[in-house]
C-alpha cells in the first residue's frame, strides 16, 4: 500500500484500488493535483483493509483485480462503518452495461469507463465529492433533527390522501411504543391509538382541517401499546388551498410531562397540599365567577369565614403528625357537609418568604388557619346559619387521634352577596369582620355581618325550637276563612289556615312559621296535622249544623317535594271520614311551575281520588296563561295583589277579566282572594267571577267563632234574599252587614 501526498492544505483522502501500475500512477497524479492524499492498493482485499482503518473521502475501485474483484470489495466496504456513505467510483470496461448495473447493485456511487478520460474523470470526482458533501450535510442535519425530535418527544405522520399511505416517523413509533419496523398503512391505524373518549373530537378536527385548510392544533390522549396513556399535541400547517390538498404532514409531540408539570404547578398554586382543598387564589377566582352569575340571575351567595377556636393551643399539645392528621380530619368533616356546588377552601396565611419555616413557626402561623365556605344560590338568608348549625353538630363528635380524643369548637362570620357587598374581597373581608365580632362574644359562635340578620337568625333559632314542640304537642290551631258564591252569597267552602300563638311572642304569621317549618323539615308533619284537623272539623260541623261545604288546605312547595310526606297525605285521604270531593288542595302557582313534572304525579293521584285542586295566588308566578290547560286543576284563585287595585284601576280590572275568561274557557271555577270592599265585589260579579274570599265576607276564624258567624250569615242572607227586589241600596246593606262581622 502506497501513500502519496501533495502540498495542498486540503487534507482529502482518496483510496485507489487497481492492479494496473500505469493507472495507479496517472490516477494518483490526478488526485494529488486535486489536493488528495492518495492511498493505492492492488486488489480488493487490500482495499477493504485500507477502508477499515481509514476514513476516505472517495474510493476508486477497478472491477477486475486479483485476489478479490471490485464488486466484492465494494460490497464489503459498504458494510463497514467507515464505508457506508463514502462515494465509490467503479472503473468499468467500455459499454460493459452488465458491470455498470452490477456496480450500482453492490453500492457504487458512480462508474468511469476505461479507457479513462482523465479530464472528464477530474470533473466527475469534483461532482461526486460535492454531491457526497451535500448528502453528508443532509445526513448530519437529519441526525440533528432526529436527535432534537427525540429530545422534544416529537414525531410526524405523513398522510398521502390519494393513496392513504401513511409514513410515520421513528418519533411516532417511540411515542406509541411501536416496534422499530412497524408502519401505518392507513390513517385509521393511527386513529386506533387515540383514546376512546377523544376519538370523535380528533377525527372531526382533522376532517375540518382537511376540508377548510385550517391549521390543526389539537391536544388529545393516546393509549400506547402497553396500555399507558400519554398526552399528544398535534399540529399541522394552514393550507392556502385546501382543495389542492393531497398530502398532509402532522407533527406530534408527547406533552405528557408538560401536562403533568402543569397539573402539579396548578395544584401547588391553587390547592393546599395538606388537605387538598382549594386555597385562597382559587377561592377568589371561583367567587368572582359566582358573583357575576349571582348578579345576573339575582341569586344570593353566602360567604362563611370559619376557624377553630384556640387552634394554637390545640396544636401546641400535638406532634407534627397528629397536628396534620387533625387538620385533615377537620377538612374532611366540613367537606362532607358541602354540596357539590359549594366551595370549601383553606386559607393559610404563610407568606412567600416563610415557605421554609420550621414546624414550630408554622404552628404559630396556623393559629390563623381559616376556612372559607361559599354557598351559592342559597334559598334563604338563613341557609348559612343552617349550614353552620349542622357543622356545629358535626364538631360535637370527638376527633380521634392515635392516642387521644380532641374536642374542638368553631367560630364563624357570614357575609351575603349582594347585600353585604358585590366584590370578592369585600365579601371575604366582611365575613372576617363578622367572625371577629363573633370571637369577641365568646367561642362556638357565629355572626352575620348585618345586625338585623343576626336578630332575625336568633329569632328563627328560638322559633324553630318552639315550633318543633308546638307541632309535636299539637298546640297549633286551625282557623277557617269562608268562601262565598257571587251568585247567591251562599257559603261554598272554607280555607283552613294554620295559626300559631307563641307562648311569649304572641301570634306568629304563617308566612314566617311555614318557612321555618319547611327549613326544619317539619312541614310534612304540620301539613298533615292541618289536614286531619280540618277534616275532623268538617265532620263535626256536618253533625252539628248539617252543612255541606268543602275545605281547602294549603300544600307548601317543600311538602310537595317530600315524597314520604305526600304519601302520608294520600293515605290519610283514602281513610278520611269525609267525602273526597269536599277536600281541595291549594298549591301556589310558582310551586307548580318549578316542580311541574314531579308534582304532576301526586296531583293526578288527588284528582283520581276525587279531591279538588286549586291554583293559589295566581298571577304571582308569571306563568304563561296557556300552560294552565296542562294542569289538572279545578279552581283558580286570583291573588289579592290583583284584586286590591281593581276598584281604582281599570287596567287591573281588565287583567282580572282576562284571567276569569281564560279560566272559564278551561272549565275552571274562579275565586278572588283578599276581597275587602264592596266595589271590588261588584266589579268581580260583573266580570263573572264565581266566588270570593276576603275580609269583606270574613277573615279566618277559630272554629267556634266560625259557627256563630255562619249562623248570622245565613240569617242576614235570608233577610237580604227576601228584600232582594234589587235596588242597589239594599245590596249595599248586605255588604255592610257582612263587613260588620270582622
Which spans of this chain sit near ligand C2E (rule: CB under 6 A)?
481, 497-498, 509-511, 514, 527, 530, 554-556, 586, 616-617, 640, 673-674, 676, 694-695, 699-700
Contact residues for 123 (Cβ-Cβ < 8 A; gap 6+)? none
* End-to-end Cα, the chain, rounded Å: 136
Is residue 404 a contact partner of residue 296, using CB atoms and an 8 Å limit?
A: no
User: Does 591 interact with Mg ion (rule: CB under 5 A)?
Assistant: no
132 binds, among ligand C2E, Mg ion, none (CB under 5 to 8 A by kind): none
Q: Which is nearer to ligand C2E, 213 or 557 (CB)?
A: 557
Q: Which is nearer to Mg ion, 428 or 671 (CB)?
A: 671
| Alpha-carbon span 24 to 31, nearest angstrom | 10
**Alpha-helix runs per DSSP H in 215-310:** 256-270, 280-297
Query: Helix or strand or coil: residue 279?
Result: coil
Q: How far is the CB of 266 from Mg ion (least distance, A)?
A: 53
676 binds, among ligand C2E, Mg ion, none (CB under 5 to 8 A by kind): ligand C2E
Q: How far is the CB of 227 from ligand C2E (least distance, A)?
A: 59
Closest CA to 655 of 633, 627, 622: 622
User: Does 617 interact with Mg ion (rule: CB under 5 A)?
Assistant: yes
* Site of grid cell 370527638: 398
Q: How far is the CB of 641 from Mg ion (least distance, A)?
A: 10
User: Does 586 interact with Mg ion (rule: CB under 5 A)?
Assistant: yes
User: Does 300 interact with Mg ion (rule: CB under 5 A)?
Assistant: no
Closest CA to 714 of 691, 737, 685, 688: 737
527 binds, among ligand C2E, Mg ion, none (CB under 5 to 8 A by kind): ligand C2E
Q: How far is the CB of 299 from ligand C2E (least distance, A)?
A: 23
Contact residues for 538 (Cβ-Cβ < 8 A; gap 6+)? 551, 578, 582
Q: Which is nearer to ligand C2E, 414 or 565 (CB)?
A: 565
205 binds, among ligand C2E, Mg ion, none (CB under 5 to 8 A by kind): none
Name the residue with the smallest CB distance to Mg ion. 586
Q: What is the DSSP letter of 701?
A: B
Q: Which is nearer to ligand C2E, 222 or 670 (CB)?
A: 670
| Alpha-carbon span 689 to 244, nearest angstrom | 76
* Site of grid cell 352569575: 293
Within 645-684, which residues bind Mg ion (CB under 5 A)?
Answer: 673
154-160 and 165-168 beta bridge pairing: antiparallel
Q: Which is nearer to ligand C2E, 323 or 697 (CB)?
A: 697
Burial of 608 (0-12, 13-18, 19+ CB in 10 A): exposed
**Alpha-helix runs per DSSP H in 441-562:** 451-473, 510-519, 523-545, 557-561
Out of 76, 99, 234, 554, point to the residue binding Mg ion (CB under 5 A). Answer: 554
385 binds, among Mg ion, ligand C2E, none (CB under 5 to 8 A by kind): none
Q: Which is nearer to ligand C2E, 305 or 551 (CB)?
A: 551
* CA atoms within a 13 Å half-sphere pointing along the CA-CB vector of 611: 24
| Alpha-carbon span 456 to 382, nearest angstrom | 9
Q: Which is nearer to ligand C2E, 103 or 486 (CB)?
A: 486
| Alpha-carbon span 45 to 48, nearest angstrom | 5
Q: How far is the CB of 729 from ligand C2E (least distance, A)?
A: 24
Q: Which is nearer to Mg ion, 315 or 638 (CB)?
A: 638
279 binds, among Mg ion, ligand C2E, none (CB under 5 to 8 A by kind): none
Query: Helix or strand or coil: residue 232?
Result: strand
Q: How far is the CB of 634 from ligand C2E (least distance, A)?
A: 16
User: Does 691 interact with Mg ion (rule: CB under 5 A)?
Assistant: no
278 binds, among Mg ion, ligand C2E, none (CB under 5 to 8 A by kind): none
Binding site for Mg ion (CB under 5 A): 554, 586, 616-617, 673
Amino acid at each position: 500500500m502506497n501513500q502519496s501526498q501533495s502540498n495542498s492544505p486540503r487534507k482529502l483522502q482518496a483510496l485507489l484500488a487497481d492492479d494496473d501500475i500505469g493507472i495507479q500512477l496517472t490516477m494518483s497524479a490526478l488526485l494529488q493535483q486535486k489536493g488528495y492524499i492518495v492511498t493505492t492498493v492492488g486488489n480488493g482485499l487490500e482495499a477493504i483493509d485500507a477502508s477499515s482503518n481509514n476514513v476516505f473521502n472517495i474510493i476508486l475501485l477497478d472491477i477486475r483485480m486479483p485476489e478479490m474483484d471490485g464488486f466484492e470489495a465494494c460490497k464489503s466496504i459498504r458494510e463497514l462503518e467507515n464505508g457506508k456513505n463514502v462515494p465509490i467510483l467503479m472503473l468499468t470496461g467500455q459499454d460493459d452495461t452488465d458491470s455498470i448495473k452490477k456496480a450500482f447493485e453492490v453500492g457504487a456511487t458512480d462508474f468511469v469507463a476505461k479507457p479513462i478520460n482523465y479530464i472528464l474523470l477530474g470533473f466527475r470526482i469534483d461532482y461526486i465529492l460535492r454531491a457526497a458533501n451535500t448528502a453528508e450535510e443532509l445526513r448530519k442535519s437529519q441526525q440533528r433533527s432526529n436527535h432534537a425530535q427525540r429530545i422534544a418527544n416529537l414525531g410526524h405522520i405523513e398522510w398521502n390522501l390519494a393513496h392513504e399511505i401513511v409514513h410515520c416517523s421513528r418519533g411516532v413509533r417511540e411515542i406509541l411504543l411501536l416496534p422499530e419496523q412497524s408502519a401505518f398503512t392507513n390513517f385509521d391505524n393511527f386513529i386506533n391509538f387515540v383514546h376512546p373518549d377523544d376519538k370523535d373530537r380528533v377525527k372531526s378536527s382533522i376532517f375540518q382541517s382537511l376540508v377548510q385548510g385550517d391549521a390543526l392544533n389539537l391536544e388529545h390522549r393516546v393509549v400506547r401499546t402497553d396500555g399507558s396513556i400519554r398526552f399528544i399535541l398535534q399540529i399541522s400547517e394552514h393550507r392556502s388551498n385546501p382543495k389542492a390538498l393531497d398530502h398532509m404532514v402532522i407533527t406530534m409531540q408527547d406533552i405528557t410531562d408538560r401536562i403533568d408539570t402543569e397539573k402539579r404547578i396548578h395544584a401547588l398554586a391553587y390547592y393546599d397540599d395538606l388537605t387538598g382543598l382549594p386555597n385562597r387564589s382559587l377561592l377568589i377566582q371561583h367567587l368572582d365567577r359566582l358573583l357575576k352569575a349571582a348578579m345576573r340571575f339575582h341569586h344570593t351567595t353566602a360567604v362563611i369565614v370559619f376557624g377553630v377556636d384556640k387552634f394554637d393551643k390545640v396544636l401546641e399539645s400535638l406532634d407534627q403528625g397528629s397536628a396534620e392528621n387533625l387538620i385533615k380530619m377537620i377538612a374532611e368533616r366540613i367537606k362532607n357537609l358541602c354540596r357539590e356546588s359549594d366551595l370549601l377552601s383553606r386559607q393559610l396565611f404563610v407568606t412567600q418568604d416563610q415557605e421554609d419555616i420550621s414546624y414550630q413557626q408554622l404552628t404559630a402561623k396556623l393559629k390563623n388557619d381559616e376556612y372559607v365556605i361559599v354557598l351559592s344560590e342559597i334559598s334563604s338568608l338563613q341557609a348559612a346559619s343552617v349550614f353552620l348549625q349542622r357543622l356545629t353538630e358535626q364538631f360535637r363528635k370527638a376527633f380521634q387521634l392515635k392516642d387521644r380524643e380532641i374536642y374542638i369548637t368553631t367560630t364563624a362570620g357570614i357575609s351575603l352577596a349582594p347585600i353585604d357587598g358585590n366584590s370578592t374581597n369585600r365579601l371575604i373581608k366582611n365575613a372576617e369582620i363578622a367572625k371577629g365580632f363573633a370571637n369577641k362574644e365568646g367561642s362556638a359562635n357565629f355572626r352575620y355581618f348585618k345586625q338585623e340578620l343576626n336578630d332575625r337568625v336568633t329569632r328563627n333559632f328560638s322559633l324553630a325550637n318552639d315550633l318543633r314542640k308546638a307541632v309535636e304537642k299539637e298546640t297549633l290551631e286551625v282557623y277557617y276563612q269562608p268562601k262565598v258564591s257571587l251568585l247567591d252569597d251562599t257559603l261554598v267552602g272554607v280555607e283552613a289556615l294554620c295559626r300559631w300563638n307563641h307562648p311569649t311572642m304572641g301570634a306568629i304569621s304563617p308566612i314566617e312559621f311555614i318557612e321555618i317549618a319547611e327549613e326544619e323539615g317539619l312541614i310534612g308533619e304540620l301539613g298533615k296535622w292541618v289536614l286531619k284537623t280540618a277534616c275532623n272539623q268538617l265532620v263535626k260541623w256536618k253533625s252539628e249544623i248539617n252543612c255541606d261545604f268543602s275545605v281547602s288546605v294549603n300544600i307548601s312547595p317543600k311538602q310537595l317535594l317530600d315524597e314520604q310526606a305526600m304519601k302520608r297525605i294520600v293515605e290519610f285521604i283514602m281513610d278520611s271520614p269525609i267525602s273526597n270531593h269536599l277536600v281541595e288542595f291549594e298549591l301556589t302557582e310558582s310551586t307548580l311551575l318549578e316542580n311541574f313534572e314531579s308534582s304532576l304525579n301526586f296531583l293526578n293521584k288527588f284528582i283520581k281520588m276525587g279531591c279538588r285542586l286549586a291554583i293559589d295566588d295566581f298571577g304571582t308566578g308569571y306563568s304563561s296563561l296557556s300552560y294552565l290547560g296542562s294542569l289538572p286543576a279545578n279552581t283558580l284563585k286570583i291573588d289579592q295583589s290583583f284584586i286590591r287595585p281593581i276598584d281604582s284601576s281599570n287596567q287591573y280590572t281588565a287583567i282580572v277579566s282576562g284571567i276569569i275568561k281564560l279560566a272559564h274557557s278551561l272549565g275552571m271555577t274562579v275565586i278572588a282572594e283578599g276581597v275587602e270592599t264592596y266595589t271590588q265585589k261588584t266589579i268581580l260579579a260583573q266580570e263573572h267571577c264565581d266566588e270570593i274570599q276576603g275580609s269583606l265576607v270574613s277573615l279566618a276564624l277559630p272554629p267556634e267563632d266560625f259557627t256563630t258567624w255562619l249562623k248570622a250569615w245565613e240569617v242576614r242572607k235570608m233577610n237580604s234574599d227576601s228584600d232582594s227586589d234589587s235596588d242597589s241600596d239594599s245590596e249595599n246593606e248586605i255588604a255592610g252587614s257582612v263587613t260588620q262581622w270582622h
